[in-house]
Structures are given as C-alpha cells and as structure tokens.
Amino acid sequence: MEVVSKNQCFGGTQFVYRHRASSCGVDMTLGVYLPPQAAERKVPLLWYLSGLTCTHENAMVKAGLQAHAAKHGLALVFPDTSPRGEGVADDDAYDLGQGAGFYVNATQKPWAPHYRMYDYIVEELPALLEAELPLNGVNGITGHSMGGHGALTIAFRNPQKFRSVSAFAPIVNPTRSDWGRKQLSAYLGNDEALWARHDACLLLAELGWERDILIDQGSSDQFLDLLKPEAMARLMAEKRQPGVFRMQPGYDHSYFFVASFGEDHVAWHAERLKAA
Amino acid sequence: MEVVSKNQCFGGTQFVYRHRASSCGVDMTLGVYLPPQAAERKVPLLWYLSGLTCTHENAMVKAGLQAHAAKHGLALVFPDTSPRGEGVADDDAYDLGQGAGFYVNATQKPWAPHYRMYDYIVEELPALLEAELPLNGVNGITGHSMGGHGALTIAFRNPQKFRSVSAFAPIVNPTRSDWGRKQLSAYLGNDEALWARHDACLLLAELGWERDILIDQGSSDQFLDLLKPEAMARLMAEKRQPGVFRMQPGYDHSYFFVASFGEDHVAWHAERLKAA
C-alpha cells in the first residue's frame, strides 16, 4: 500500500492509502485510522462503509469517529464505494456506477469487469490490511445508507469474519426499493433470486444473526421511503432478534446525523470486539 | 437571515444562513450551531474564524465542535473568510482575495469596496445574530491559521465584545511573514504603521490582554515558518501573559489537528463565558 497522506489525529494517525486491487482490477484509495494503542499492540478494526456518491473521504473527514476510536483503541477503515478511473464504467445518475457500487460483484455488462466491491470488502481488503497493519484480526462493521446496506448484508453472510454489526440509516430492503431494484438489476441481471443475497431483511430472515444489532435511523430522514426502516424494525421484532432499533427524532440523512451518534456506535462495537 | 439549510445535530440544530451584509455590500453565508440548551434559554456564542481558502463550511463539517458545544451549552458561528460573488475582486493566488480576507477593512483598490471583514465580524454580524437568535450577548472567539490571526487581533482590540480568546495554529506575526506582508500591503497599502493593528504580537505588546489565552500549535505543522509561533511564545513569556501555549507533538496544519483539540478549546471557552 502506498501512503497518500498521513495526519496525526487524536493521538493516533489518519492514513490515506492507495493500492492495486486485484478484485476490482484498478487502484483503490482508502482511509485507515490507527489509534494510539496500535503503537503498542494489535487492535480490532471497525469497518465503515459509505453511502451513495461518497469516496473514502467523506466519513473520514466529517463523521468524527476518530475521537471515539482513539478512546476505545479501535482502528477504522474507510473504503471507497466503487472502483474508479479510466476504463471503469459509469453512469450519469448519481445512484449507479462510480460512487454507487452497492457492495456486490457485478455479473452484467458493462459493470462486470471492475465492480467487484463485495469481494474487495470481504476478501481482498481484510487480508491486505491484516498483513500490513497492527490489527488483531477481530473485525466489526458499520456504515451509512448504501453503506449500512453493505454492512448488514456483509455481516449476515460472514458472521465469522465480522463479529459485530451496526448501521446508520441503512437501505434495509433494496429488493423492494428504488434504491436497490435499479442497481441490482443493472449489476446482477433480472433474476431476483440473486438479489436476495444483497437484501438485509431477506438475509436476516433466512440466515439469522446470533449476536445483537444496533441501527439508528433519523425520523426526519428525507429518504425514509427508499430506506424502508419499517421492514427491518418489524422483522427484528417478529424474529425476536437481539438488538436495538433507534428512531432518532428530528434527525435527517446527513453526516450531522452520523456524527451525532458515532460515539454510541464506536463504543458499542468496542465492547463487542474486545470481548471477542 | 434566510435559512439555506437546517440539520439536527447533537440534539441542537446546525443552520446555514444567508444575509445581505451592509459592511461588505454582498450576500454572505454563515453557519450557526444552536445547542439544545438554546431551546430554553439564551446562550453564549463562540466565534470560529476559518483559514485561507475556507468558506463557512470547512470547520462546520470537519472540526467536530458541535458535540462539545452541545455538551457545554454554547452556540457556534462559522463566518465566511471573505466577500464573494459577482463584482467582488479576486486574485489567482489562494492567499489573496476571495477566501483570504485576513479580517481587515481594505482601503486599497480593487479591494476597498467589499473587503470589510473586520467590520463584518466585529460590528455587523454580532448585532445581527443577537437580534435574531437566542444569544445572551456573551462572546468568545477562536480560529485556525488566518482565522487564529483574526481571533487574536479582534479580541485584543475588542476586549469588551469578546470575553475569551483561543487559537489553533494562528498566524501571530503577519507583519513579519509572507502570510501577512503581501495581504496587508494589498489591502491596506504600504504604510506599515497601519498593519500593526492587525498583528497579534504587536497588539498584545501594545494593548495587553487582561484575561488568559489558549493557543495550540502542531510541532509538525508544514507552515511553521509562516505562522511564527515562536514570536508569540516569547512575547507571552516576556510579558508574563496569563495563558497556555501548547506545542502539540506530531500534529500538522490540517483539520485533524483542529478536531483533536476542539474539545479542549470549547470547554475552555465555556468555563470563561459562563463565568462572564
């Protein structure tokens, strides 16, 4: 990994790295925060997956998670949301193509050659980070909006790799949302059975999740109709799923919402990852 | 003031306002954070002046100060760093013209018609904010880099208006720096006696400051030669100035530095503004 930038932050270090990703076949950029504790021991890693239009940078500079990660001795990783660059397919819409990878492995033209974000997040990047950085191999995952979708679906399918999962305003039922149907059909084709492997509600219903879940959702979120929080809230209640679904009055979909509850999420993951 | 945006944040509200500024003769945009306590009582206000190239937005989204302001019951204001828009003079350099007002009232062509940031920050905006918002008239001021210069010089010249002052990596001796001599000559002309009213070290030496001062400076700041922290540190020691000058090992000039020590600064102002 090549160091793009390095800034001291809350006693630890905020890195931006670039590396050749074999999964996506392009150079990928990511942010990694190492807390002060990483100078002395290997630490757990909390993954933060970002939403539509974001790069590795948005949460890294706006969510304020480093303060809490430093307190609890967790590393953070902020991956990009899609492959980018010359030769990578794109679309004029903000919600398809670059910045909108939806954390799947695309099988359809023109996306299939580079859009392999599922493999990138689940396979390639964990191995690379563990090989290169002082990490103890214990991982939690969270994310916002499309990234909340990524966090939930990836955790549910990989409970051995991700010990804890939470989300901020996640897209929880993409097979029933315009944030989902359009992208899943473009990336995966028209067989909706294949989409189910990328729908948090369908996966939780099918696979379950033995540990607990933390989800925050703003009640004034401008995208409630696309996020479908009621589907997840009902399912968690029906399944007697351990966890907390918090409807936060007055909060919208912005990073001000994520920042407001970031301390809770980092503390929640820290408790679970240290016990792991 | 027209509301441009409004986001719930740490139980309070982050506003962006636009208003016609008579001082600068243009529409100005600013961020204001009202903490949850402002729903029930008038609160003190902490001013945050930003550095070169910034707008009202940088610190508002990157410094994480709202968390601390909510805890302590302080409002925050994030003004822009210069007039902007059609008919406003500019320069190709990043450090002159738009984004680089240096908190002075320009007297020279082509800057004089709109570049009146001193009057805007000291006179017009305080009156407007107090008239429109639940503020108790008790003000503190801080800032970063060029904004740290603004905070120190404005406080030293207006001790009745600003009860507390701190700064992050401030330009403290602009009459002796390339971050200063170029701008002060452009905005104020070649009479260096006029520049002295905008030099924190010269003002502190001449006017003094009866209360204490908090300054944080990163030891790995890439702009140390322009900021001249040693001039202020020496002067504070020579004058037996109450205050703390903290050299923070390893920190650079970025917002990761500001965010890392934002909690300390907000708490420090809160203690002084509540006692005022």
Report the CATH number that the domain containing residue A232 is assigned in CATH.
Answer: 3.40.50.1820
Closest CA to A220 of A258, A260, A247: A247
Mean pLDDT of A178-194: 97
Examine the pLDDT at A276 and tell me if it is beyond 70.
Answer: no
Mean pLDDT of A120-129: 98
Domain limits at A125? 2-275
Q: How many structural domains comprise chain A? A: 1
Q: What is the pLDDT of residue A79?
A: 98
Q: Determine what percent of chain B falls in helix, strand and coil, rounding each to the nearest 5.
A: 40, 25, 35
User: CA-CA-CA-CA torsion for A108, A113, A116, A119, nearest 10 degrees?
Assistant: 120
What pLDDT score does B73 carry? Answer: 98
What is the per-residue pLDDT for B275? 74
pLDDT at B58: 98
Known active-site residue B253: yes
What A176-180 contacts at long range (C-beta under 8 Å, 24+ apart), as own/partner pairs, is: A176/A228, A176/A231, A177/A226, A177/A227, A177/A228, A178/A226, A179/A52, A179/A95, A179/A146, A179/A223, A179/A226, A179/A227, A180/A102, A180/A149
Average pLDDT over residues B86-106: 97
pLDDT band for A273, please (50, 70, 90 cuts): very high
Please indicate if any CB of chain A lies within 8 Å of the CB of B250: yes
Q: Which of B8, B11, B256 sits opposite A9 (nearest CB)?
A: B256
**pLDDT surpassing 90 at residue A275:** no
Residues of B in contact with A10 (CB under 8 A): 259-260
DSSP class of residue A142?
E
B102 pLDDT tier (thresholds 50, 70, 90): very high
What per-residue confidence (pLDDT) applies to B195? 98
For residues A69 and A12, the answer to whether their CB atoms sit within 8 Å is yes
Distance from CA of B194 to the nearest CA of A (A): 37
Rg of chain A over CA atoms, in angstroms? Answer: 17
Closest CA to B214 of B150, B151, B138: B151
Active-site residue, from B145, B164, B166, B177: B145
Span A252-266, pLDDT tens digits = 999 999 999 999 999
Mind telling me how many Å the CA of B177 is from chain A's nearest CA? 25
| HSE toward the beta carbon, residue B147, CA cutoff 13 A | 29
Percent of the residues in chain A that have a pLDDT greater than 90, as a whole number: 99
Mean pLDDT of B97-117: 98
Q: What is the mean pLDDT of residues A230-243?
A: 95
Average of pLDDT values for A50-60?
A: 98
Give helix A146-157 / helix A200-207 axis angle, nearest 10°: 20
Contacts of A7 in chain B (CB under 8 A): 252, 254, 256-257
| B122 touches A: beta carbon within 8 Å | no
A64's tokens: 């304020």
Q: What is the mean pLDDT of residues B111-116?
A: 98
pLDDT in tens, B243-260: 999 999 999 999 999 999
Nearest Cα of chain B lies from the Cα of A170 at a distance, in angstroms, of 18
Residues B196-208 have a mean pLDDT of 98
Chain B contact for A108 (CB, 8 A cutoff): no
Kind plus residue range of the DSSP H or E element containing B129: helix B125-132
* Distance separating alpha carbons of residues A199 and A193, to the nearest angstrom: 11
- Amino acid found at B173: N
Q: Catalytic annotation on B80?
A: no
CB contact under 8 A, B7 and A252: yes
Task: Convert the pLDDT of each residue in A137-159 to its tens digit.
Answer: 999 999 999 999 999 999 999 99
The CA–CA distances, whole Å, from A68 to A64, A65, A239, A269, B48 equal 8, 5, 32, 11, 23
Give catalytic status of residue A119 as yes or no: no
CA atoms within 13 A on the CB side of A124: 19
Tens digits of residue pLDDT in B6-25: 999 999 999 999 999 999 99
Hey, which residues 210-239 in chain B have their CB within 8 Å of chain A?
218, 220
Cβ under 8 Å to B: A residues 46-65: 61-62, 64
Q: With an 8 Å Cβ cutoff, are B8 and A256 in contact?
A: yes
Taking residue A252's Cβ as centre, other Cβ atoms within 10 Å add up to 19
Nearest Cα residue to A173 out of A255, A254, A229: A229
Q: For residue B276, what pLDDT is reported?
A: 65
B62–A61 C-beta distance less than 8 A: yes
